Amino acid sequence: MRASRSERGLHNVPAGITSFVGRRQELAEIKRLFSGSRLLTLTGMGGVGKTRLGLRVAIDIQRAFRDGVWLAELAALDDPALVTHAMFDALDLRDQSARWLVATLAEYLAPKHALIVLDNVEHLLDACAVLADTLLRSCPELRILVTSRRPLGISGEVSFTVPPLPSPEAVRLFAERAVSVVPGFAVTAENEATVGQLCKQLEGIPLAIELAAARLNVLSLEQLLVRLQDRFALLTTCSRTALPRQQTLWRTIEWSYGLLSLDDQMLWQRLTVFSGSFDLEAIEHVCAGELLAPEAVLDQVGRLVDQSILVRDGSRNPVRYSMLESIRQFGRGKLHESGGADFRRRHRDYYRQLVTAMQPFGASQVQWFDRLSLEHSNLRTALDYCLNEPGQAGAGMELASALWLYWETRGRLSEGRRWIEQFLRSGLGPSPARARALWTAGYLAVVQGDVPAAQALLQESRDLSAALGEGRSAAFSIHFLGRVLLFQGNLAGAAALTEQAIGLHRQAGDETGLGFALVQLAIIRCFQRRAVDAIRLLDESADISNRHGERWNLSYVLWVLGFATWLAGRADDAAELELRALRLKRDIDDRVGIPLCIEAMAWIAGSVEKQDHAAALLGCARSALQAIPSPLPNPFRTYHDACEAQARARLGDTAFSAASGKGELMSLQEAVSFALEEKVIRPARETQPRGSSPLSRREAETASLVAQGLSNKAVAAKLMISERTVDSHVLNILNKLGIQSRTEIASWVTRHQDSVPASALSRIR
pLDDT in tens, 232-290: 554 444 444 455 655 667 877 887 888 889 999 999 999 999 999 999 999 999 999 98
The more confident residue out of 402 and 742 is 402
In this structure, what are the phi and psi dihedrals at residue 289, rounded to the nearest 5 degrees?
A: 85, 175
> Quick check: is 275 in a domain?
yes
The domain tally of the chain equals: 6
pLDDT of residue 360: 79
The more confident residue out of 700 and 234 is 700
Percent of all residues in the chain with a pLDDT value above 70, rounded to a whole number: 89
Query: Looking at the structure, do residues 537 and 472 belong to the same domain, yes or no?
Result: yes
DSSP state of 754: G
> Quick check: is 683 in a domain?
no
Query: Looking at the structure, do residues 67 and 10 belong to the same domain, yes or no?
Result: yes
> Quick check: is 591 in a domain?
no
- Cβ contact 522:528 at 8 Å: no
Between CA 739 and CA 264 the distance in angstroms is: 71
pLDDT of residue 680: 59
Least confident span in 73-82, 135-144, 227-236: 227-236
> Quick check: is 589 in a domain?
no
CA-based angle 400:401:405, to the nearest 5?
100
State the average pLDDT over residues 199-228. 87
- Cβ contact 40:151 at 8 Å: no
Least confident span in 110-119, 567-576, 704-713: 704-713
Highest mean pLDDT out of 62-71, 107-116, 393-402, 410-419: 393-402
CA distances from 697 to 62, 125, 372, 702, 707 (A): 14, 38, 41, 9, 15
pLDDT of residue 668: 84
| 320 pLDDT above the threshold of 70 | yes
- Residue where one domain finishes, among candidates 258, 285, 315: 258
Query: Looking at the structure, do residues 482 and 507 belong to the same domain, yes or no?
Result: yes
pLDDT in tens, 677-696: 887 554 433 333 334 567 77
Sheet holding 311-313, edge to edge: 278-279, 320-322, 311-313
Between CA 308 and CA 67 the distance in angstroms is: 35
- Residue 183: asked if its preceding bond is cis (omega within 30°), the reply is no
Q: Where are the beta strands (DSSP E) in 209-361?
A: 278-279, 311-313, 320-322
User: Which amino acid, residue 382?
Assistant: A
Query: Looking at the structure, do residues 400 and 511 belong to the same domain, yes or no?
Result: yes
CATH number where 723 lies: 1.10.10.10
pLDDT in tens, 567-584: 999 999 999 999 999 999
pLDDT of residue 243: 54
Sign for the pseudo-dihedral over CA of 398, 417, 91, 596: negative
| 117 pLDDT above the threshold of 90 | yes
DSSP line for 215-233: GGGTS-HHHHHHHHHHHHH
> Quick check: is 582 in a domain?
no
Least confident span in 439-448, 516-525, 676-685: 676-685
- Residue where one domain finishes, among candidates 202, 228, 258: 258
Of 734, 11, 40, 99, nearest to 453 by C-alpha is 99
CATH number where 65 lies: 3.40.50.300
Average pLDDT value for the chain: 86
pLDDT of residue 582: 96
Between CA 177 and CA 196 the distance in angstroms is: 15
pLDDT in tens, 133-177: 999 999 999 999 999 988 999 999 999 988 889 989 999 999 999
pLDDT of residue 312: 87
Query: Looking at the structure, do residues 174 and 74 belong to the same domain, yes or no?
Result: no
> Quick check: is 576 in a domain?
no
| 610 pLDDT above the threshold of 90 | yes
pLDDT of residue 704: 83
Q: Where are the beta strands (DSSP E) in 94-249?
A: 114-119, 142-148, 157-161
Query: Looking at the structure, do residues 518 and 663 belong to the same domain, yes or no?
Result: no
State the average pLDDT over residues 527-548. 95
Query: Looking at the structure, do residues 30 and 73 belong to the same domain, yes or no?
Result: yes
Q: Counting beta carbons within 10 angstroms of the beta carbon of residue 364, is it exposed (0 to 12), middle (13 to 18) or buried (19 or more)?
A: middle
pLDDT of residue 720: 66
Q: Which structural domain, as residue segments, surrounds residue 399?
A: 350-560
Query: Looking at the structure, do residues 209 and 305 belong to the same domain, yes or no?
Result: no
pLDDT of residue 256: 81
CATH number where 401 lies: 1.25.40.10
- Residue where one domain finishes, among candidates 239, 258, 277: 258
The more confident residue out of 530 and 707 is 530
State the average pLDDT over residues 59-64. 87
State the average pLDDT over residues 744-761. 59
pTM: 0.75
Query: Looking at the structure, do residues 93 and 225 belong to the same domain, yes or no?
Result: no
Query: Looking at the structure, do residues 393 and 482 belong to the same domain, yes or no?
Result: yes
> Quick check: is 753 in a domain?
yes
Confidence label for 70 from pLDDT (cuts 50, 70 and 90): very high
pLDDT of residue 18: 58
Between CA 713 and CA 204 the distance in angstroms is: 39
> Quick check: is 566 in a domain?
no
Query: Looking at the structure, do residues 611 and 695 belong to the same domain, yes or no?
Result: no
State the average pLDDT over residues 194-223. 88
pLDDT of residue 476: 97
Strands 311-313, 320-322: pairing is antiparallel
DSSP state of 505: H
Query: Looking at the structure, do residues 153 and 63 belong to the same domain, yes or no?
Result: yes
| 2 pLDDT above the threshold of 50 | no
| 17 pLDDT above the threshold of 60 | no
The more confident residue out of 18 and 261 is 261
